[in-house]
Amino acid sequence: MSVHTPLGAPGAATGRQALLRQDAEGLFPGGVNSPVRAFRSVGRPPLILTGGSGCRVQDADGNVYLDYIGSWGPAILGHGRQEVVDAVRGAALNGFALGATSPLEIELAQRIRAAVPSMQRMRFVSSGTEAVMSAIRLARGGTGREIVVKFAGGYHGHGDSLLVDAGSGLATLGMPGSAGVTRGAAHDTIVVPYNDRAAITAAFETYPGRIACVIAEGVVANVGVVPPDPEYLEWLRAFTASSGTLLILDEVISGFRVARGGAQERYAIAPDITTLGKIIGGGMPVGAYGASRELMALIAPEGPVYQAGTLSGHPLAMAAGIATLDLLTPDVYEGLERAGARLEAGLREAAAEAGREVAITRVGSLLTVFFRSGAPTNGAEALASDRDAYGRFFRAMLDEGVLLPPSQFEAWFLGAAHSDSDLDATVAAARRAFRA
């Protein structure tokens, strides 16, 4: 890859990217196939990325950037890791989806169960969204109840029942948060503030015996990184168990990232149901949900809860996942923790030197720089951050050759390919960007 050359002024469109953006806008809503890729909240035209190697990506005009998006999490080893590429190539030579169970599905599931013991049995699906939708169906089927409790600011994919507004911040039945979602679909979802024990207690008192499950991210990471308060997840685990309600831990982001066993290893809890996403496929389209043997026995064809998928357990995704998980050794996690601490400390120092008031939150290799005073403890506080200030910071960092998530409310993803010199270069760029 060539050395990074700065982009033009914000909003400029030059070179091959401009032509590709024009074509994309005629083909896709907003010119993208997922909204965050549009870069609209940071005031820049979307990048058209053509390749990645290690911790760097390249755009269609040949500019190279230090990457902290990391394919939104799964590029924990870096882009194009040779062992993973070789595994996918080998699987492809045997054909793609063959329409029956592959030995690779069994191999990957064994590795996942060893790392996440609460997933005694599991089912592979094609995305994290699909995993969450299936987990909620299983929770309702297993309890005979209908109501789902989620946390304001928690994102669990675009399933209808979870696209709801936070309302007043008290325990209220959800209202649709997207056009096309009916009141009926959202009606049985309750939204409460994160890290708020009283709100959870009030919801259960208001709807006794009716709540099927509480779903929580292992680490809140879709309003930026918001860690759980000390012992909050442990309390939530005990509270739901005492109420006959299932706890779903959405580890689509935190799984195999904040620890090999995810947030449930880091915080020493065992949820009833776990959902995992694309990291278990090394960036290939994949997801999984799992639970105890007894609960998973409710899934068809053994039980009455139906769920199916033609491409579930796709051999290429399974091969990539096996290779990725085999490379995630204890040394890798120790290195990620050190890298996260080094970057966090450097950014704090850079912000202080610039006189910039920011709050930096981190869990392992997940990090967010919030443009606000004080670290947020829930979604509402996170959303009060200064989005315009983040946009200026993002643009300045991009001009320095550092690609951050194009939203104040997304996590930075560090990977094993980020060297100390890469982290130091990022901090040096931030010293200048904080003054922008």
CA distance 122 to 275: 9
Q: Residues 6 or more apart from 292 whose CB is under 8 A from it? A: 118, 120, 121, 272
- Contact (Cβ atoms closer than 8 angstroms) between residue 254 and residue 365: no
Rounded-to-integer distance, Cα 358 and Cα 393, Å: 12
- Token match 């063959």: residue? 98
Cα angle vertex 71, ends 70, 77, to 5°? 50
* 361 three-state secondary structure: strand
- Cβ–Cβ under 8 Å, residues 391 and 363: no
Asked if the peptide bond before residue 285 counts as cis, ω within 30 degrees of 0, the response is: no
Among residues 59, 188, 278, 333, the one annotated as catalytic is 278
What does R_g of the chain's alpha carbons equal in angstroms? 21
Would residue 250 show up in a list of annotated catalytic residues for this protein? yes
**Which of 65, 68, 155, 289 is an active site residue?**
155
Structure tokens at 360: 């930096």
Contact 317, 284 (CB under 8 A): yes
Provide the 3-class DSSP secondary structure of residue 300.
coil
* Catalytic choice (59, 61, 250, 272): 250
Residues annotated catalytic, as ranges: 155, 250, 278
